Structure 1
Amino acid sequence: MSDKSKISRREGETSSQAMARVSLTPECLSAMVLLDSKMMGALDVTAVVDELRLQTAALNSGDMSRAESMLLAQAHTLDSLFAQFAGRALRTRQLDDLESYMRLALKAQNQARATLQTLGELKAPKQVAFVKQANIGNQVQVNNDSSTARTRTRKNSKAPNELLEVQHGKRLDTRAKGSSGSADQAMESMAKQHRAKKPRG
C-alpha cells in the first residue's frame, strides 16, 4: 500500500503494525499480483484493493454471481487452450511434439471439466443427509469348525447381559446330574464292557 494516510490504525496499534496488517490481507496481496502482471495498466493499488474488498463483501453476504462469472470465464479460457494445443498436435510432424501438445491439450480439457463441475456445485449444492446408524444385533454367526458356518436368528428379545438366574424366577441348580446326550450313547455302552474291575488307587 503506497498511501499510508488511508490506513486506519486500531487501538494500541502502531503505524508499522497497521501497514503490515493491511498489506497481508487477501485483497492487498491479490492487487499487488495483478498490478505486477502489467495487464491492468497504471492503476492505483488502493483502487484495486477497494474493488476487491467490495467483491469480498458481496461474497460474504451470499452473492455468488462474481464467483460464477469467474469460473465460467476460466472454463472458456481452458477450453480455448485445449483447442490450441490439440490443433498444434495435429499440425506437427514430430512424434515427440505430438505427444507433448496432446498431453497439454488433455490437461486443459480436464481442468475445464473440473471448473465446470465446481460451477455446477455452486449453482446446485449437493444435499448431504446425516443418517443415524442403528446397530441391531439380531444376526449371530456360529462357527462349528473350519469348514462350516451357520447363521441363526436370535429369537430371545432379552438383553444379552441379563443374568440367567432371573429367567422364569429360578436359579441355576449346579448340583443336578446331567444325562448323557444322544451322541454319547455308544461311548456309554462301551464303558460298561471295558470298565476296569478294580479302581485305581
Structure 2
Amino acid sequence: MTEQKGDMTLVVTKEGDETLDQTMARARVMPENLAAATLVCTKLVDVPVTDLARELRQQTAAINSGDLTRAENMLLAQAHTLDALFANLTARAMNAKHMDNLEAFMRLAFKAQNQARATLQTLGELKAPKNVAFVKQANIGQNVQVNNGTTGQPTRTRKAKKAQNELLEVEHGERLDTRATGTAGSADPAMATVGEKHRAAKPRG
C-alpha cells in the first residue's frame, strides 16, 4: 500500500483490521513520516522517503528505550552550528561599512550566541538531570482551635466587658450615685454625713 504525494512515495503497512482510511490517517500523522517528508522537501537528503521514515522510527525506538545518544549528538552538533553562525555574523559586522548594517549583524550574532548557550545548557541537563524533590504538605488546619484567653472555653468579650463595668460600679465607685448618703471616714471623725435637710435643693451642674 502506498501514499502518493508529489514525487515522494511513502510505503505504509496496514495493521490489524484497519480500514484503508484508518491506515492512511495513521500514516499521515506519524511524527517520523512528517519529519521524513520535510527532510526530503529540503533537498538535504536524497533517499526514498520510506527509508528515511524507517530510520527515524528506529531512532524514536532508541529514545523510548532510554538511549539518548542521538539526541545528545544532535544538540552538540547544533551548538557547533550556532557557534559558527555567531562567528560568521560577527565577521560580517566588523566588515560593515554602515552603522545600521553593523548593528543588524551584531544583533543576529548575539541571538545565535544565545541559542548556542541555551542548546549547551539543554545538553547539560540531558546528561545530568536535576533532582526534583516532591514535598508532601500535610493539611493540619482543620483541627486547630483558637481560644481567646485561658485554655478553657473561649471567652466572650461582650459578657466579660459587661461584668467588668458592673464590678467597677460596685467596688471602684466609677458610677456611684452622688445622691446616695455617705459615711464619715475614720481618719476625720469630725466630718459628719450631710443630712437630708442640709443638702442642696438642686444638684450643681
Normalization by structure 1: what TM-score?
A: 0.69
- Between structure 1 and structure 2, the one with the greater Rg is 2
**Closer, same or farther: CA 40–195 of 1 in aligned 2, 3 Å:** farther
**Closer, same or farther: CA 97–177 of 1 in aligned 2, 3 Å:** closer
User: What is the distance in 1 between the residues matched to 2:178 and 2:115?
Assistant: 87
2:36 is equivalent to residue 36 of structure 1: no
CA contact (8 A) 2:59 2:70 kept: yes
**Closer, same or farther: CA 195–53 of 1 in aligned 2, 3 Å:** farther
1:132 aligns to what? Answer: 136
2:193 aligns to what? Answer: none
User: What is the distance in 2 between the residues matched to 1:177 and 1:16?
Assistant: 87
2:107 is equivalent to residue 79 of structure 1: no
User: What is the distance in 1 between the residues matched to 2:80 and 2:179?
Assistant: 97
2:123 aligns to what? Answer: 119
**Closer, same or farther: CA 51–167 of 1 in aligned 2, 3 Å:** same
2:54 is equivalent to residue 54 of structure 1: no
**Closer, same or farther: CA 7–177 of 1 in aligned 2, 3 Å:** closer
1:93-138: CA deviation from partner (whole Å, max 9, x where unpaired): 201101100110000001001111110110111111122346789x
1:8 aligns to what? Answer: 14
Normalization by structure 2: what TM-score?
A: 0.67
1:19 aligns to what? Answer: 24
CA deviation after TM superposition for structure 1 residue 28, in Å: 0.3
1:128-164: CA deviation from partner (whole Å, max 9, x where unpaired): 1122346789xxxxxxxxxxxxxxxxxxxx9525799
CA deviation after TM superposition for structure 1 residue 17, in Å: 2.4
CA contact (8 A) 1:10 1:18 kept: no
Give the CA RMSD over aligned residues: 3.6
Match of 1:18, as an amino acid? T
SS in 1 for 2:152: helix
**Closer, same or farther: CA 3–72 of 1 in aligned 2, 3 Å:** closer
CA contact (8 A) 1:7 1:19 kept: no
User: What is the distance in 1 between the residues matched to 2:51 and 2:179?
Assistant: 109
CA contact (8 A) 1:9 1:15 kept: no
* More off after superposition, 159-168 vs 113-122: 159-168
Count residues in correspondence.
Answer: 164
Match of 1:47, as an amino acid? D
User: What is the distance in 1 between the residues matched to 2:168 and 2:125?
Assistant: 71
1:167 aligns to what? Answer: 152
CA contact (8 A) 2:82 2:112 kept: yes
CA deviation after TM superposition for structure 1 residue 45, in Å: 0.9
Match of 1:30, as an amino acid? A
% identical equivalent positions: 51
Match of 1:37, as an amino acid? T
